[in-house]
Amino acid sequence: MIQVYDSVIVRTVAKLLVPFIQVFGLYVVFHGAKSPGGGFQGGAILGASLILLRLTVGPSAAGNYLPGRSALRLGAGGVLVYAVIGLIPMLNGAAFLDYGSIPLPMLGAARHAVGIELVEVGVALAVSCIMVSIFDDLAPALRPAKMSQGKLT
Amino acid sequence: MNLHRWAALAALAVLFMTASTSLPPLRSGDAPIRTRVEPYYIEHVVEQTATLNIVSAILADYRSFDTFGETTVVFAAGLAVYLLLGRREDEAQ
């Protein structure tokens, strides 16, 4: 049985660390075009930060990120982001995921860079949220409850 | 499984093993992927995608369809765990 870690030190350190982990995760996602990184790696770091909160702070209001089933829904949203970015070039008659035909006022190569970046965001969203969703299914007691009318249900 | 299926499976295995002998050896320098595909990426990646990280460019642009499938597989894994182990809202706790 997975339980919340009952130690003030662990909880405080985890709460302090989580913002830094998330900033680093965002850096890995958005700097993936210039340095090692990308959507999968950054998404894994972001998902790990939320799982750390669930393990230490627990399902209280303080750790109330992605409550209920919103992790799975946001993960589906990540796949949707990817699919929509792929469909936009088809509006101009180009092939699926042909970023060169994204209607933006810039050169073709820069359009490709934008397409890569947006797709990485979709991947990061999907990977991080699905990690949290799988963790929630394995440890449902640690999942933050859905807020309804201003109080926990 | 009945005999026909075993025979079909064995035939498929023999086919794959025979075909695998004509693959270029691992780390061979004159395989088509070394002589055509890799030089093309290395020469054109910056002018075509304006992305310095060649791994990201190949993953999310040249091989974007593959990565879309990977993302779908990740989502399918989450969905499968939810369908097998997930509890509904009212059942939690």
- Among residues B73, B90, B81, the alpha carbon closest in space to that of A71 is found at B81
pLDDT single digits (tens) A87-104 = 999 988 888 988 888 888
Compare CB distances from A109 to B48, B65, B75 and report the shortest one's residue. B48
CB contact under 8 A, B65 and A38: no
- Check CB contact of A122 with chain B, cutoff 8 Å: yes
- Tell me the ipTM for this assembly: 0.86
Is B78 within 8 Å of A122 when comparing Cβ atoms? no
User: How far, in Å, CA of A133 to CA of A110, rounded?
Assistant: 35
What pLDDT score was predicted for residue A92?
A: 85
* Residue A56 to residue A39: CA distance in whole angstroms: 26
A141 pLDDT tier (thresholds 50, 70, 90): confident
Contacts of B20 (CB under 8 A, 6+ apart): none
The 3-class SS string of A66-110 reads CCCCHHHHHHHHHHHHHHHHHHHHHHCCCCCCCHHHCCCCCCHHH
pLDDT of residue A35: 87
Task: Return residues 1-30 of A near B (CB < 8 Å).
Answer: none
**A 49-108 near B (Cβ less than 8 A):** 68-69, 72, 75-76, 78-79, 82-83, 86, 96-97, 99, 107-108
User: Do the chains contact at B67 and A123, CB–CB below 8 Å?
Assistant: yes
**Which residue from A41, A39, A48, A23 is spatially nearest to A135, judged by alpha carbons?**
A48
Question: By the CB < 8 Å criterion, does B68 face chain A?
Answer: yes
Give which of A2, A50, A82 to mutate to test B binding, by max B Cβ within 10 Å. Answer: A82
Q: What pTM does this model have?
A: 0.84
A85 has pLDDT over 60: yes
What does each of the 93 residues of chain B score in pLDDT, given as a tens digit?
A: 689 999 999 999 999 999 988 888 888 888 888 888 899 999 999 999 888 999 999 999 999 999 999 999 999 999 999 999 886 655 544
What pLDDT does B24 receive?
82
Tell me the shortest Cα–Cα distance from B41 to chain A, in angstroms: 14
Strand partners, A147: A152
Is there a contact between A84 and A1 (Cβ–Cβ < 8 Å)?
A: no
pLDDT, residue A152, reads 46
Residue A120 CB partners (closer than 8 Å, separation 6+): A29, A30, A32, A33, A38, A39, A42, B56, B60
Q: Whose CA is closest to B47, among A96, A99, A112?
A: A112
Interatomic CA distance for residues A63 and A142, integer angstroms:
10
